[in-house]
Structure 1
Amino acid sequence: MDVRKKYNVTHSYTVQPVTLADGHLLDKFLLILQEKENEFGKRVEKKLIVPSNVVVRASKSGKSSGEKHHVFLNELLRPLVGRRFLLFLDSWKTQADLTKFRAVFPNQDSQLLIFPEGSTGHIQPQDLSLFRSW
């Protein structure tokens, strides 16, 4: 790994938890780990211990992508929300697509609100509390 490039040391994984409106964290979260390919090797897959409250995926960068965001919406969020809910997300292009959101939640009376670009470090609840301590 070339550590002269900042992204090589700052994005080896992504943690995507969900905070409820009352400030509590959902029991389940998405964890994306950096791997050379977009999947885990056989050895890693064999030894990887994944708790039932964690959805784990691999990516070359350790960052989320459109595919990983779909996993977040479909496998993590969909089973946990009711018919009506409000979802706040960062302004990343992979997350801000209303069409993809509606594809996973076609019949819910739900809303998707996007934090304005550049504001998440100031107003996003997880950046102000949970991630700050990390």
Structure 2
Amino acid sequence: MKTQLMRRLCAAIFGTAMVLMPTMDAFAASARIKDIVDFEGIRENQLVGYGLVVGLNGTGDSLNNSPFTKQSLQSMLERLGVNTAGENVRTANVAAVMVTANLPPFATQGSRMDVSVAALGDSDSLQGGTLLVTPLLG
């Protein structure tokens, strides 16, 4: 008698578990450890850099108010093998900019991140320009 009662009880428990098992995933909260844990001393790194935005279609810096733009452009061109000595370099399509970013902790090489680009000179707009490779330091 006891064995039959035990078998029925086990069958009822097993049946209930089988019915409830598919709904268990809905109640289980999944989270990555890095999303819920803060390590002491681990923080974002603020990065900053100086660069040039090119291709501005006449809305870039003027020579009168932004001499550093001309100097940066000439320096970059000379490093690329273009001799600009004695040449009249126009910077209407170029703007000097500061680039800032926050590098998250545990970021790996090749990780993408958002950057902010702000004009240093008197350019009217950076829209449509291309930010040249800019080393970021932090």
User: Which TM bucket (shorter chain)?
Assistant: under 0.3
TM-score after normalising by structure 1? 0.22
**More RCO (CA 8 Å, sep 6+):** 2
Name the larger-Rg structure.
2
